Amino acid sequence: MSNRTGDGHSQISQESLPPDSGRGLAGAAGSISAATMMSRILAMGREMVMSAYFGAGFATDAFNIAFRIPNLLRDLFAEGALSSAFVPTFVRTMTEKGREEAWLLANRVINALVVILSGVTLLFFFGAHWFVYLFASQSASIPGKFELTVQMTRIMSPFLLCVALAAAVMGMLNAHGKFFIPALAPCAFNICSILAGVFLSPLMPRFGLEPVVSMAIGALAGGASQFLVQLPSAARIGFRYRPILNFKDPGVRQIAALMLPAVIGLSATQINIVVDSQLATRFGNGPVSYLNYAFRLMQLPIGLFGVAIATTTLAAVSIHAARNNMARLRETVAGSLRLAACLTFPATVGLILFRQEIIELLYQRGRFLASDTLQTSQVLFLYALALFAYSAVKILVPTFYALNDTRTPVRFSVITVAVKVAVNFLLIIPLGFLGLALATAVASWLNFLLLARSFIRKTQPGWQPADLLVYLRIAAASLLMGLIAYVAHAGSRMLLPVRGGAGLALHLGIAIAAAMAAILPLLRLFRVEEERELSGMVRRLAGRFR
């Protein structure tokens, strides 16, 4: 709880602040990973429902384009820019001015979001034709596809407002060291989507609607639920809603000032999405869905590891920045990147080795065919090459914002986009739509390298060669883990020749179990210090599921 100081401000107790040590970060990241694991499992269930009921073609392409429009602005104005700007400002206000001022700021931000994003919702609804044409003009050449996409875009137009409010509440909870419930909130979204696909889609034709429209209704209900499920936790830490609005509030203006360059930087990234969508639709029905299914699979380890570490890191570096403790900030970020490597390097090896088996097990049923599995697995291979880079960028970008340096990420984002678009057109000729995935991987690594170099220069002393050797040791451990998993998979197929889906699940499960059993001893063998933190994280995760 907070204590009063002589000047009337509340002094925040250390217990109410997020962890800032390496071990504390691993513990908090473990808490997020536990919740995110449940969410990602449900997300896979949602994708399995989508693939089984609607396949990979006309209907799923239309839904993915329609959902991409509000989802794009969610990254711009909600979970991306808003989170990066809100958490440091909220923490600084709470640290310097007290808890009451922090709650006033939170209410003003929430009300400002309601006013601004209600207008954006109306723009989406009435301008749906223009947005769909911007993203997928080629879909107009396929009868009914353009109209279906417009219809679902209108249904999901309030989605952005819902998830922006959810992101604001998440920021308050994260700033108080509460990570589990915010990370669990996306479960509500996935549950609503699954229920809509299974129970609502058969009813759609009765109303003259395509069955896939049920997924748009489920997405909207899920976005609202993602906000509502966090409110009880926010109330427990002291938040009370007040209908106050003040655009001139210094905190609100500070958040807007931080968000503006973040939005510009993220806008550059979103240009890639628009270009990819337009180029993918030129290859007919299917490629938009292949890219989406593969990217969703890559988001599983990113969500479990990268986002979990990035979330706890943002809260911790915000405190260090507010206290001007650059040494601790540097240690926190360096430790977070090593921890991300320990988790994403093995995941990359696993996704590459068993990409086809994973996709066949998860998706290949109903309307999702073997040819769809082959195409999606090729995309997944290319996406997986940048798994660490993608996760590391999520750690580094908010760190620059916490340091009030918004120009550096924006500048590098613009450079990355220019390279990505150029590589798109360079690779799409020999590789077709697969060139889009490879260009994404190249751009992700470029963005990470530029950010890492700038961070090293900004937080002298820089890293030493020995620090880079840690990543080589992690890579070596991951490759050996992959070899063990491959042998286990091949051996299980010889000794346990079970056919069909049960056999596929059995053999893949044995390979994954062998990999999980091997990776921690291998990291210990290669003297990677983060192995101890990971072992503790595993024990805490196991305790949560007992």
Per-residue pLDDT of 129-183, as tens digits, reads 998 888 777 777 778 889 999 999 999 999 989 988 998 898 888 888 787 888 7
The pLDDT > 90 percentage for the chain reads 34
- Residue ranges of E strands in 495-535: none
Q: How confident is the model at residue 519 (pLDDT cuts 50, 70, 90)?
A: very high
Can you give the pLDDT at residue 5?
37
Q: Which residue spans within 204-305 are E strands per DSSP?
A: none
Q: How far is CA 323 from the centre of its chain?
A: 29
Distance CA 236, CA 259 (A): 28
**Arithmetic mean of pLDDT, 391-404:** 82
Q: Pick left, alpha or beta for residue 98 (phi over 0 → left; psi -120 to 50 → alpha; otherwise beta).
A: left
Rounded distance between C-alpha atoms, residue 281 and residue 274, angstroms? 11
Residue carrying structure tokens 């209600």: 118
444/462 Cα distance (integer angstroms): 22
Tell me what pLDDT residue 7 has.
38
DSSP designation for 202: G
Question: Which stretch of 8-12, 73-77, 344-348 has the lowest confidence by average pLDDT?
Answer: 8-12
pLDDT at 333 exceeding the cut of 70:
yes
Dist. CA 230–CA 233, nearest whole Å: 6
- Can you tell me the distance from the alpha carbon of 399 to that of 447, in angstroms, rounded to the nearest whole number? 14
Q: Is the pLDDT of residue 374 over 50?
A: yes
Q: What is the pLDDT of residue 80?
A: 59
Torsion 77-80-82-85 (CA) sign: negative
Domain boundaries, given as residue ranges, for the chain: 13-463
Which residues are CB-contacts of 313 (< 8 A; sequence separation ≥ 6)?
25, 332, 333, 336, 395, 398, 399
The three-state secondary structure class of 525 is helix
Q: Which helix (H) or strand (E) covers residue 417, if one does?
A: helix 407-431
Per-residue confidence at 14, pLDDT binned at 50, 70, 90? very low
Q: For residue 53, what are its two tokens?
A: 């009921």
In the predicted structure, residue 528 carries a pLDDT above the cut 80: yes
What pTM was estimated for this model as a whole? 0.70
First to last CA, the chain: 30
Three-state SS at 55? coil
Whether 462 shows a pLDDT value over 60: the answer reads: no
Between 20 and 92, name the one with better pLDDT.
92
| Angle of CA points 160, 166, 168, to nearest 5° | 105
pLDDT at 81: 67
The proportion of the chain whose per-residue pLDDT surpasses 70, expressed as a percent, equals: 83
Q: Are 512 and 347 in contact (CB under 8 A)?
A: no
In the predicted model, is pLDDT for residue 249 greater than 80? yes
d(CA 17, CA 174): 9
Residue 15 has pLDDT above 60, yes or no: no
CB 256 within 8 A of CB 406: no
Check residue 22 and give its pLDDT: 46
| Ranges 105-109, 251-255, 408-412, 542-546: which has the least confidence | 542-546
Q: 260-304, pLDDT tens digit by residue?
A: 766 665 655 566 666 777 788 778 778 888 888 888 888 777 666
pLDDT for residue 28: 54
The residue length of the chain stands at: 546
72-126 pLDDT per residue, tens: 767 655 555 677 778 888 888 888 888 888 899 999 999 998 999 899 899 989 9
Question: Which residues are within 8 A (CB) of 480 and not within 5 positions of it... i.e. 6 or more apart?
Answer: 518, 522
pLDDT greater than 90 at residue 209: yes
pLDDT score for 2: 37
Given a cut of 90, is residue 352 above it in pLDDT?
yes
